[in-house]
Amino acid sequence: MDFTKEMEAARALAEARLTEFFSGGGLEKAMRYSLLAGGKRIRPVLTMKFCEAAGGTLEEALDFGCAVEMLHTYSLIHDDLPCMDNDDLRRGRPTSHKVFGECTATLAGDALQAAAFQTVLSAEGSWRHGGGACKALAARVLAEAAGVQGMCGGQYWDTADDGRPRTVEDLTAINDQKTGALLRAACMMGVAASMGRRTVEDACMDAARDYASNLGLAFQIRDDILDTTSTAGELGKPIGSDAANGKTTFVTLLGVRACERQVLDYTERAKEALCRCAWQGDTEFLLELADSLARRDH
């Protein structure tokens, strides 16, 4: 396996499909601006690669993966708003509200969230019996990840009493919702997509969930490290805002060295989760992806 080539092929497949959405002007222009602003496309890649691991193909999960990316993009637009993180830069470009204004940016995020569910429920493919059950399962997983039990709930607790001291347990719970929930959705929706044409062990869905939960915590801790050790130019977004606002992070609680150990520990747990079921396809890419995210420098 050539991990880099596989990663680029999956990323390019997602990127090409995303360019087919929102080609109009007005609000669609604002939606497209943020959706096509670049990024690693980790979430759609995870969706497609989990489908492949469960015996399916990348194409079977493509629209599910694009839906996750739409919902992720909506969350970034809203995170950057003045009422939230008040950031001016995202992926090296001005944030949506800086280009289109706060009202249009808010609506663009709202519309992308709705479009995510429309994309899941409108996905086409060689489904058994029309694929209704698979699409309904994927939509339910995505809804749970987006709502009060997932990303929005995590963001609420992250901003509630902002500035008060947090414990490691507090941060772990918050980030399991704020970051982990959408990664869980991406992985579990990939397994759901594979069910459109074949029988898949229930244990594979559990393994996908546990892999993503640990990957999400490793990802967030790595983000906290980079916010301390990197530069705005390298990350393509402002750095040090958490420290400037007196916000507790894993780094402020544990220090960089201990955080690096935590990243490796959660990464190993993610990889171990993949061994808990009999996959019909190969999981080598997913193992290497976990390692690559632990090593990332932006």
Residue 1: the pLDDT is: 66
What are the angstrom distances between the C-alpha of 221 and each of 27, 126, 154, 168, 179? 35, 39, 15, 11, 11
In this predicted model, what pLDDT tens digit does every residue of 131-150 receive, in sequence order? Answer: 688 999 999 999 999 999 99
Residue 244 clears pLDDT 70, i.e. is over it? no
> pLDDT band at 91, cuts 50/70/90?
confident
* Average pLDDT value for residue range 206-235: 88
Amino acid residing at 257:
R
**Positive or negative: CA dihedral 146, 148, 150, 151:** positive
Residue 233: the pLDDT is: 57
Domain count, the chain: 1
Residue 68 belongs to domain with CATH number: 1.10.600.10
* Average pLDDT value for residue range 93-107: 94
Q: Among residues of the chain, what percentage have pLDDT more than 90?
A: 78
Q: Domain range for residue 176?
A: 3-295
Lowest mean pLDDT among 22-26, 125-129, 130-134, 144-148: 125-129
Q: Which residues have CB under 8 Å from 243's CB, separation 6+?
A: 227, 228, 249, 252
Distance CA 143, CA 116 (A): 10
Residue 27: the pLDDT is: 97
In this predicted model, what pLDDT tens digit does every residue of 38-72 receive, in sequence order? Answer: 889 999 999 999 999 999 999 999 999 999 999 99
Residue 243 clears pLDDT 90, i.e. is over it? no
Residue 70: the pLDDT is: 98
Average pLDDT, the chain: 91
Distance CA 208, CA 274 (A): 7
CB atoms within 10 A of CB 46: 30
In this predicted model, what pLDDT tens digit does every residue of 257-291 receive, in sequence order? Answer: 999 999 999 999 999 999 999 999 999 999 999 99
Residue 293: the pLDDT is: 96
Residue 239: the pLDDT is: 57
Residue 119: the pLDDT is: 97
Residue 246: the pLDDT is: 66
